[in-house]
């Protein structure tokens, strides 16, 4: 069972379970996207732990506790340290160095106020040493987790409508 199916937890035989089954290919592709951006074979300069911490942060910013628990497990599997735990928790102050502080600021901006993000925000990532490839990797992660949040919320909403 993929992550979205596990979190939505549609009752067997329900209309929601049937709707999800009809979208099995989308769910399969969503799981493949998760694996590609959270635990890629080639993580570049954005470690699996950093990716999991940022994903957990995004889910917490959105109040998605079940997805946050999933990403906490990913973070623990990647070897959580105190810095990564601080990054994962938007309620904590983060002082993880210039590079990671810029990444956290960008993550929060794109998650909470995406319309305010500009080219200068991307340029700020370059000034702290991120390569174009790693900026792409980061934006893929942010886009995917925010997409995943909306898919889960949509299925849960559909399941609550009678």
What is the per-residue pLDDT across 118-157, written as a single tens digit (0 to 9) for each?
Answer: 999 999 999 999 999 999 999 999 999 999 999 898 888 8
Long-range contacts of residues 2-7, Cβ cutoff 8 Å, at least 24 apart:
2/27, 2/28, 2/30, 2/31, 2/34, 3/30, 3/31, 3/34, 3/67, 3/70, 3/148, 4/30, 4/31, 4/148, 4/151, 4/152, 4/155, 7/66, 7/67, 7/70, 7/152
Predicted confidence (pLDDT) at residue 113 exceeds the cutoff of 80:
yes
Whether 70 has a pLDDT exceeding 70, the answer reads yes
Of 23-27, 79-83, 88-92, 139-143, the one with minimum mean pLDDT is: 23-27
- What is the predicted pLDDT for the residue at 161? 57
Domain ranges of the chain: 3-160
CATH number of 3-160, picked from 3.80.10.10, 3.30.360.10, 1.10.10.10, 1.20.1290.10? 1.20.1290.10
């Amino acid at each position: 069972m993929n992550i979205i199916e596990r979190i939505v937890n549609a009752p067997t035989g329900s209309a929601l379970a049937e709707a999800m089954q009809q979208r099995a290919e989308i769910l399969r592709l969503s799981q493949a996207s998760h694996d590609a951006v959270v635990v890629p074979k080639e993580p570049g300069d954005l470690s699996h732990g950093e990716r999991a911490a940022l994903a957990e942060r995004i889910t917490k910013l959105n109040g998605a506790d079940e997805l946050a628990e999933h990403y906490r497990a990913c973070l623990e599997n990647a070897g959580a340290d105190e810095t990564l735990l601080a990054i994962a928790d938007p309620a904590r102050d983060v002082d993880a160095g210039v590079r990671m502080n810029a990444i956290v600021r960008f993550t929060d901006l794109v998650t909470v106020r995406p319309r305010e993000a500009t080219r200068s925000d991307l340029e700020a990532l370059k000034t702290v040493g991120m390569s174009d490839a790693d900026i792409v990797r980061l934006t893929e992660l942010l886009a995917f987790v925010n997409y995943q949040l909306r898919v889960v919320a949509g299925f849960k909403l559909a399941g609550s409508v009678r």
